[in-house]
Amino acid sequence: MKQTTKNWIGAIALVLGSSAVTGAVVRGTVSGNQPLAGNPAAAATSPMVVPSGFVDLTTAAESAVGSVVYIKVTQTGKTQRIQIQDPFSDFYDFFGFGGRGGQPQEREYRQPDRHAAGSGVIISADGYIVTNNHVVGEADEIEVKLNDNREFKGRIIGCDATTDLALIKIDAKDLPAIKIGNSDDLKLGQWVLAVGNPFNLTSTVTAGIVSAKARSLGANGIESFIQTDAAINSGNSGGALVNENGELVGINAMLYSQTGSYSGYGFAIPTSIMNKVVADLKVYGTVQRAILGVQGIDVSIWIDNEKAKGNEPDLDVVEGVYIDKVTDASAAEEAGLQKGDVITEFDGKKVSKMSELQEAIAQHRPGDKVSITYKRAKKESTVKVTLRNIQGTTKVMEEVDLDQMGVSLKPVTEDEKKTLGISYGLTINAIRNGKMKSAGASKGTVILWVNDQKMQTEEDWENAVTSANQSTDRTLWIKAITPSGRKVSYVIELDEN
């Protein structure tokens, strides 16, 4: 479970009181047929709200718990080459025994395996499961345990760090897939259940209400969290947030705490974002992310910042997204949006803050045409915009296959460092037909830099290739050194097949 901490200074927690009814919660209704709204006299003389009726959560809990799985992950320890100085080398040299030479010895050290656990939600009867990227993103082995105690090996279909979502698959049939609801229909104060496996306590259900919507914490690239006071703890990550009908409305992702354990604030990724991400991962293996091309801030925050500077801002609007910057050659620039504009609607949906705009854009793909309503100099306008991808096009982005590079890499040895006069690098220890061979690379060549990034580990190489694939030019600029010490450069276009 991701954890976000905050220090509260001078804050006092005041408990007003609560009532618990096993398997049910009390819903209040107003007695009488006359509504109180707009009738001050009636409000003054009407009796207090009387609790009547129950919201039975047992059915929702029993249906949802069968669709939530326990996920155990293993990250294999990496093998590193380290130098070890023999502590007795000076002793042997002093007495003339020799044989040690005082030279450091190079040995391999394998880090211990790392284990972790989380939750997941079955979304299809044939074994597709949604969870968090931070649960399975770095996993080498995935074990999935169902509520009926059956166990399966899981494999990753795709991960998206930007939204902290991941899709995995197990080979099984006739699984109890959860019914997916519409998170947009959630209301503040509505009852929800958090289902997961906190602290390895499998099949745990907690109840609470929707405390806020479209909450932003700055933890992910795209976020519009559902905030709930249903208890969410470590191990709940990837579990289900369901409504009174047992429908999935969010994927539990974070807790907000001073201690690392639940303290009243939990956050879930809404299904409005999840549906699009999962569909893309299933079809393309990567998310087809639409980009508008603006950097902005909540209007309310911008106004507060300006007042703090002694200014008196007058935008004629107190809700929306203030555009601070328009990216060059973006969809927003093409549509004529400018710094200082305030976006108030996106494709007919009201936008009151940045997280709502992010959530709305996240439901679209590059190439989609949408309408944007904004205010400029107190005048409202609406324009049509064709959304683009991060590369500035409307083409489908495919996940780059590292096998296309055609190389096997390993960190340089101490001998190679001394011979070539370098302190880092990745040696090509095997090469076959692929992009690297076509560019002129050969076995024994040491890769030093890729797109201004030092190459020290295989993970550096993977990250550099992935980052280049998502950039506008999709090009690898490689600096290397041959076994003879000759410095060389390679240019690889990832657009080419």
**Active site residues per annotation:** 134, 164, 237
Contact 118, 132 (CB under 8 A): yes
Q: What is the 3-state secondary structure (H, E, C) of 155-195?
A: EEEEEECCCCEEEEEECCCCCCCCCECCHHHCCCCCEEEEE
Amino acid, res. 182? N
Cα 274–Cα 199–Cα 64 angle in degrees, nearest 5: 45
Cβ atoms of 183 and 272 within 8 Å: the answer is: yes
β-partners of residue 446 are 427, 481
Structure tokens that stand for 218 in this block: 């700055």
Q: Are 286 and 280 in contact (CB under 8 A)?
A: yes
C-alpha 319: how far from its chain's center?
Answer: 27
3-class DSSP state of 414: helix
Distances (CA, A) of 379 to 119, 318, 319: 49, 14, 15
What DSSP assignment string belongs to 83-99?
A: EE--TTHHHHHHTT--S
CB-based contacts of 308, cutoff 8 Å, min separation 6:
none
* Contact criterion met (CB below 8 Å) for 160 and 279: no
Which residue do the tokens 């990496």 mark? 78
The bridge status of strand 2-4 relative to strand 248-256 is: parallel
Cα(263)–Cα(257) distance, integer angstroms: 6
Which one-letter amino acid corresponds to residue 408? S
**Separation CA 335–CA 331 (nearest Å):** 6
Which residues are CB-contacts of 147 (< 8 A; sequence separation ≥ 6)?
A: 65, 66, 67, 68, 69, 176, 202, 203
Q: What share of the chain is helix, strand, coil (3-state, %, to 5)?
A: 20, 35, 45
145 residue type, one letter: K
Asked if residue 387 lies in contact with residue 367, where contact means CB atoms within 8 angstroms, the answer is yes
DSSP-assigned letters across all residues of 140-157: SEEEEE-TTS-EEEEEEE
Measured distance CA(89)–CA(105) in Å, rounded = 11
